[in-house]
Amino acid sequence: MKNTHTFKIAPLLALTVLLLFGFTTKQPSSAYKCMIQMTNYTGEGAYIVISLLNPQGDYEKTIYVQGDDEEWYHDITEWWKFQGRKRTDIDAITGATISGGERAISIIEIEDEFIDRGYKIRFESAVEDQDYFKDDVEFELTSESVKSKVDGKGFIRYIRLIPQ
Amino acid sequence: MTISIWRYSHMILAVSSAIFIFLATVTGIILAFEPISNQIKPYAITSASNLSLAETIETLQNEYNEVVTLKKDENDFVIASVITKEGRSNRFYINPFTGKKIGDIIKKASIFEFATNLHRSLFLKSTGRFLVGLFSFFLFLIAITGIKLIIKRQGGFKRFFSKVVKEEFAQYYHVIIGRYALIPLVIITISGIYLSLEKFDVLPSNKITHTKTQISENSKKIAVKDFKIFNATLLNEFKHLEFPFSDDEEDYFVLKLENKELYINQYSGDIISKGDFPLPLLASNLSLKLHTGQGNFLWAILLLLTCFAILFFMYSGFAMTLKRKKRSSSKMQNISDKDTAEYIILVGSETGHTQRFAKQFFEAMCLKTTSVFIDQLNNYTSYKRAKHLIVFTATYGEGEAPSNAKNFETLLDVIKQNQTIQYSVVGFGSLMYPNFCKYAIIVDALLQKNKSFMPNLPLFKINNQSLEAFKTWLGQWNDSTSLNLKIQLNKPTINRKKLSNFEVISHTEINVDDTFILQLRPQFIQKFQSGDLLAFYPEDDNVERLYSIGRVEDNILLSIKRHEFGVCSRQLSQLTQKTMIKAKIRRNLDFHFPTYAKEVVMIANGTGIAPFLGMINDKSNDVKAHLFWGGRTHDSLEIYSKFIDKAFNKKTLSSFHVAYSQEEGKKVYVQDVIQENADMIARILNTDGVVMICGSIAMQNRVLEVLNDITTEKLKQPLSTFENNEQIKMDCY
């Protein structure tokens, strides 16, 4: 009798905890200016997704998406396995595609708790009918790396980050 | 059916790419609304075009924490990407004077998103892009062959925009709209092809190459608002400005103008490096602008109209093709060989009308004799046992051979016949063209000169596929040969429900010329005026009979000659007052009274006077009217005289000239009276007056000859100049 009582309380407790942490604790975050410089490839504008990976290498959240036509999102295969399932609203963090030779500057926000904790930032890129690069740029987030320049392996020549 | 290579390719290209072009056109219509709907948004600050970039930058830097980019889009809306004082990153339309936000960025509506994808790649990615590019190229070829066809049809490049002869609705408007839509169509297709090619790495690179500029060593730090280049650049030349990424000296401003890109030192304002847009990039930008109509309201509307024109071309083009196919569908089956047949029929046909007549003649011959052979003029060869040659031919352009007769002249020269063959030539054409049956005349002359041929019947010309005329010729043919051919010319079907009722108001006695005047009133109000036609369809044969209408008050006045064997005129002559008769009004816009002219000359013979009786009584005094009429005797005029007297009394008729051909003494024809008044005619034509002719074809031909003499002699110009100027209106039968 007593046992069943506890079982009834348990989910309620869990919910309360979830609500408390989910809504009250807004993590402090910082804005970073991010520049993506593309290589001189020819063809359509590239879709680029910036996401945060946890220390295990799994997707934690989507930080920014260059490319606003959802139709082509499935071309960014790895990320789409994550985003396609969850379908979080990314309208606010979406910009236009960037073509070869161009560069784009955007403001991204990263919670401070992810810095120096083994989390990584990943830039995936895909161009219609051409290639897809799962980790065009990928590096660990440290207080040093967030003000650096990192070269890309695919369509991205380099990216630069500086704290705002 | 034979058709010229141009028409054939025009059609084949259209048929093969129809589905794709249809898709592209429909999506094109949708997409044309995007620039239109964007343009009407209130974000453009027109007065800002003379504002300097430095001023806008200064306002923005005061208003916001940081500016990332500043851009002017194709609609001249200024977009700033900024970090606000609250530290939030944002992008929106701004007022360049105040730097304040005036609106959120227009998100491309999903319908446009969808249409764009379908329009440029059919959702097939690269394959789709290739197909779209290819069919765009096809459409370009269709336009080019179309131009060629119009030039041929109109009889020369100079006559490209002259009047088009109206034969059928689809054909007429295909040409009319084609002439105007061709130019935007060529622009759309070329720009479309360019945009497609761009994706396939076949064009020269459109990358900007930068060249470093010499910088003076001792440049000092100055405020951004004092930068020379920003002060010199006005908002209307400016395209895009990217602010330096960081405070590092090596980060710079990137400024894009209409045709170049500049890197600018963020502290001194010196131009570090300069890159002109290469030609392919400029071409690409221009193609995009022309193809999408971005930023230009009027051009977008024009693109939209062109899309509708393409849809109409598809409809009318297919309608014409089907019609043509129907006309020449059942192929002619020769039973005899060319060397065994006594009767040889050769056909020169461009659109298939002439072919139809030839086929019916051939079939009628087959019932009487087996020794008939039918072929195209181009296949002219030796005919060992031939006794008769019958040529049916149309004329193309300005007296040229139709496409399946082009080689006839050469072949006739080369190939010799062993025996003498009797020949008859029937020409098909339209009197609306200046060179009526010209090619038939040429063929007739060629045969006459050739020793192997002997005339059987004189050249016979048929206007507008007239069944009556064809029957007349057939009669002559039957008389000249022992064959008694009967041709059942297809009885057309008529939907009698579409005919209207007309009440007989009055009916004059039949006069010496077997002519009478019939006045009818439509049972229900209908729009009509003098010069329109009233069509009767006697139940015996359902063949349309047209009579010219003269509008007298609200009645339809018809002048009808009763023919001995005329089914329709006989029926009409027996009508009594108050009976109802079924008929249909045919508007005849080309033969309406020209109220814009100062003076009008009306020429008629016999019953052709009917529309003029209406016109002279129904017009204002502003336009002077002169009536010329040719009849047989004094008595012929009597039934018309009361209408003419009335017009004289009202002063709506300035002069009346009459010619009698059967009176004692001198035979005078209407063209003789016109010759007597040559000075007046010349003066009227020279002052933009109009000559209207109504009556028999024979009279028309004589009158046109006289008119041509008058204009060449007195005005030093051929009559065709005035015809092209629409100063000659004709309605003859």
DSSP symbols for B297-345:
HHHHHHHHHHHHHHHHHHHHHHHHHHHHHHHT-SPP---S-TTT-SEEE
Q: What is the pLDDT of residues A19-78, one digit of tens each?
A: 555 454 557 888 888 999 999 888 788 999 999 999 999 999 999 999 887 878 888 999
The CATH number that applies at residue B571 is: 3.40.50.80
Q: Would you call B523 exposed, middle or buried from its count of C-beta atoms within 10 A (0-12, 13-18, 19+)?
A: exposed
Q: Is residue B213 part of a domain?
A: no
Write down the pLDDT at residue B290.
94
Flag whether B288 is in a domain. Answer: no
Which site among A36, A39, A44 would you substitute to test the B interface, given the most B Cβ atoms closer than 10 Å to its Cβ?
A44
Of B480, B515, B542, the one marking the end of a domain is B480
Closest Cα in chain B to A91: B107
Q: Are residues B456 and B591 in the same domain?
A: no
CA distance B356 to B332: 10
DSSP state of B632: S
B82 to chain A: closest CA residue: A107
Residue B536 and residue B543: Cα distance in Å, rounded?
8
- Testing the interface with B: which of A34, A91, A105 to mutate, by most B Cβ within 10 A? A105
- Sheet containing strand A94-95, edge to edge, reads A94-95, A59-66, A47-53, A120-126, A132-140
Query: What percent of chain B shows pLDDT beyond 70?
Result: 94
What's the half-sphere exposure (Cβ side, CA atoms, 13 Å) at B514?
Answer: 9
Does residue B432 have a pLDDT over 60? no
User: Does B154 share its domain with B127?
Assistant: yes
Q: Which domain holds residue B91?
A: 43-103+227-277
Q: Chain B: residue nearest A99 by CA?
A: B207
State the Cα–Cα distance between residues A70 and B177, nearest whole angstrom: 40
Let me know whether B361 and B504 are in one domain. no
Same domain flag for B192 and B63: no
Residue numbers in A near B245 (CB within 8 A): 33, 35, 105, 160, 162
Question: What DSSP element (H or E) covers B604?
Answer: strand B599-605
What whole-number percentage of chain A has pLDDT above 90? Answer: 48
Can you name the CATH fold of A27-163?
A: Immunoglobulin-like (2.60.40)
Chain A residues lying within 8 Å of B117, measured CB to CB: 71
User: Which of A33, A44, A71 lies at the smallest CB-CB distance from B245?
Assistant: A33
- Kindly state whether residue B211 falls inside one of the protein's structural domains: no
Same domain for B317 and B258, yes or no, is: no
B401 and B363 fall within a common domain: yes
| Whether pLDDT at A6 is above 60 | no
Task: Average the pLDDT over B495-502 and give the result.
Answer: 83
Of the partner residues A100, A101, A160, the one whose CB lies closest to the CB of residue B245: A160
Cα B365 to chain centroid distance, Å, stands at 39
CB pairs under 8 A between A and B: 42
Cβ-nearest to A129 among B89, B125, B205: B125
For residues B12 and B158, membership in a common domain is answered with yes
How large is the average pLDDT for residues B278-292?
91
A contacts of B201 (beta carbons < 8 Å): 42-43
Sheet of B500-507, strand order: B545-548, B533-536, B580-586, B500-507, B515-522, B555-561, B550-552
Interface of A with B (CB under 8 A): 31, 33, 35, 40, 42-44, 68-69, 71, 100-101, 103, 105-107, 128-129, 160, 162, 164
Residue B214 lies in a domain: no
Q: Do B416 and B452 fall within a single domain?
A: yes
pLDDT, tens only, B584-613: 998 888 898 988 888 999 999 989 999 999
User: Looking at the domain assignment, is residue B292 inside a domain?
Assistant: no
Helices within B467-582 (DSSP H only): 467-480, 567-573
Chain B residues with CB under 8 Å of A128 CB are 125-126
Maximum C-alpha span of chain B: 115
Q: How far is A27 from chain B (nearest CA, A)?
A: 16
Distance (Å, whole) CA B438 – CA B393: 10
Q: What CATH number is associated with residue B404?
A: 3.40.50.360
CB contact under 8 A, A35 and B201: no
- What integer pLDDT is reported at residue B414 of this predicted model? 86
Q: Identify which has the larger pLDDT, A65 or B467.
A: A65
Q: Mark whether B657 and B537 lie in a shared domain.
A: yes
Q: Do A105 and B113 touch (CB under 8 A)?
A: no
Mutation for testing the A interface, residue in B68, B81, B85, B89 having most A CBs under 10 Å: B89
pLDDT value of position A24: 46
pLDDT at B329 over 60: no
Partner-chain contact A106 B125, CB within 8 Å: no
Q: Write down the pLDDT at residue A11.
A: 64
Q: Please state, in angstroms and rounded to a whole number, the distance separating the CA atoms of residues B78 and B58.
A: 15
Note the pLDDT of residue A8.
Answer: 63
Give mean pLDDT, residues B306-315.
Answer: 94
Q: Which residues of B touch A105 (CB under 8 A)?
A: 68-69, 81, 242, 245
Same domain flag for B628 and B659: yes
User: Three-state SS for B728?
Assistant: strand
Q: Are residues B435 and B347 in the same domain?
A: yes
Contacts (Cβ under 8 Å, ≥6 apart) of B337: B373
Summarised one tens digit per residue, pLDDT across range B607-636 is 999 999 999 988 777 888 999 999 988 888
- All structural domains of chain A with their residue ranges: 27-163
Q: Do B245 and A129 touch (CB under 8 A)?
A: no
> What's the structural domain count of chain B?
4
Tell whether B370 and B430 lie within a shared domain: yes
